[in-house]
């Protein structure tokens, strides 16, 4: 099977020759993989490693190419950015939030840097998607978000306070953030056609130990907005990958019922995110993507420990199929190349006999999901 065929068959719960393996990396790790493979082109690196890469196709805005690891400057939402060093890694951080001092909904009309859906580089996205297709890779894009963008524009402390103290301001701002991205998404999907397979929705709702917001607040402010995006994406025949880090177990029934197809990154070291329990409660409702621990095992473990971690993910999250193995979020700077190769090699060595997997649940079945007591 080609990488794309393997990914799409897994999402559709059809027989595959083996579990697919994807990889997310930081720029430092990508450079180490370039040196290891002797390839300079990013897609060629993934091809050389034998990955079932889901290639990111994110349209730039204006004259800029979308790059979450870009240097100092300004996002398309007018949020200033700066680069910060942390050990071996360099990370992008957000500066002074442009809506941080706003106290009234009417002030939103005066903000001059709301993006325009016409300003995105759809042609550039098509060009990159064509390159990905030349490697037989599946594609994912664009990157869209509600709460993460709100936090960038408002500041994290203000954003969390708004949930309790100024929910009307939160909703008014989210309405604008939603409308701009919905218009962009609709045009993007129309112009990309068969060159895009999956849409990436990112909204971190958890910390290492618990939730960022309560289930009630999530239901009020985010459930319907997420469902509307899922419905739009599905109307184009595409799949939804939803990303949220952290301990988000109490929110999963609502997130899944909203219509997502793939859940990422499965940060199983967080409370409530244990792999066996997620498979038991949601394994027939959603595809799992990620799973292999990148906080301890991948960066600091031995090759054998990485192989065991990878095998455990396949045996739990992939027990009945429906699993795309990969690093739990980006592999971090300083991670040994040997450990990355061990993860990939373990997946490719555990060839799963082709089998007819459980059918994709109907919408009615999705709505029957109920929380399991933690």
The whole-number pLDDT of residue 320 equals 87
Whole domain around residue 332: which residue ranges?
3-59+119-366
CA 187, distance to chain mean position in Å, is 21
The whole-number pLDDT of residue 373 equals 27
The whole-number pLDDT of residue 64 equals 57
DSSP for 222-271? IIHHHHHHHHHHHHTT-EEEEE--SS-GGGHHHHHHTT-SEEE---TTST
The whole-number pLDDT of residue 58 equals 95
Contact 142, 188 (CB under 8 A): yes
Position 317 in a domain:
yes
Order the strands of the 89-94 sheet from edge to edge.
73-74, 80-86, 89-94
- The tally of domains found in the chain comes to 1
Contact 321, 18 (CB under 8 A): no
Check which CATH number belongs to the domain holding 193 and give it.
Answer: 3.20.20.210
Position 114 in a domain:
no
What is the pTM (predicted TM-score) of this model? 0.92
Nearest to 19 by CA among 307, 328, 270, 354: 354
Position 323 in a domain:
yes
Position 105 in a domain:
no
Per-residue pLDDT of the chain (374 residues; tens, 9 = 90+): 999 999 999 999 999 999 999 999 999 999 999 999 999 999 999 999 999 999 999 999 986 555 555 556 899 999 999 999 988 888 899 999 999 999 999 999 999 999 999 999 999 999 999 999 999 999 999 999 999 999 999 999 999 999 999 999 999 999 999 999 999 999 999 999 999 999 999 999 999 999 999 999 999 999 999 999 999 999 999 999 999 999 999 999 999 999 999 999 999 999 999 999 999 999 999 999 999 999 999 999 999 999 999 999 999 999 989 999 999 999 999 999 999 999 999 999 975 433 334 443 444 443 333 333 22
């Amino acid at each position: 099977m080609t990488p794309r065929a393997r990914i799409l068959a897994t999402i559709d719960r059809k027989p595959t020759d083996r579990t697919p393996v994807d990889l997310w990396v930081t720029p430092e790790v990508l450079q180490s993989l370039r040196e290891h493979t002797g390839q300079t082109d990013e897609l060629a690196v993934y091809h050389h490693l034998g990955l079932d890469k889901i290639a990111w196709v994110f349209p730039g805005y204006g004259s800029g190419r979308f790059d979450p690891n870009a240097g100092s400057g300004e996002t398309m939402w007018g949020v200033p950015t700066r680069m910060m060093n942390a050990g071996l890694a360099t990370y992008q951080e957000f500066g002074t939030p442009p809506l941080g001092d706003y106290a009234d909904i009417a002030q939103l009309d005066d903000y001059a840097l709301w993006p325009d859906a016409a300003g995105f580089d759809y042609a550039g996205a098509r060009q990159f998607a064509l390159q990905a297709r030349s490697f037989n890779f599946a594609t994912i894009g664009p990157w869209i978000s509600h709460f993460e963008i709100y936090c960038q524009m408002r500041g994290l402390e203000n954003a969390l306070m708004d949930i309790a103290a100024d929910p009307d301001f939160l909703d008014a701002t989210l309405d604008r953030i939603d409308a701009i991205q919905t218009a962009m998404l609709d045009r993007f999907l129309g112009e990309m056609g068969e060159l895009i397979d999956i849409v990436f929705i990112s909204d971190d709702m958890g910390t290492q130990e618990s939730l960022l917001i309560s289930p009630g607040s999530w239901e009020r402010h985010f459930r319907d907005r997420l469902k509307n995006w899922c419905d739009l994406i599905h109307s184009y025949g595409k799949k939804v990958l939803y990303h949220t880090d952290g301990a988000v177990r109490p929110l999963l029934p609502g997130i899944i019922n909203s219509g997502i197809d793939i859940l990422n990154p499965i940060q199983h070291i967080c409370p409530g995110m244990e792999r066996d329990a997620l498979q038991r409660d949601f394994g027939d409702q959603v595809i799992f993507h990620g799973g292999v621990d990148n906080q301890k095992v991948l960066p600091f473990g031995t090759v054998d420990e990485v192989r065991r971690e990878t095998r455990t993910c396949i045996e739990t999250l992939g027990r009945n199929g429906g699993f795309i193995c990969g690093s739990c979020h980006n592999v971090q700077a300083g991670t040994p190349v040997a450990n990355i190769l061990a993860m990939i090699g373990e997946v490719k060595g555990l060839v799963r006999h082709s089998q007819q997997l459980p059918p994709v649940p109907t919408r009615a079945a999705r709505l029957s999901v109920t929380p399991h007591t933690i």
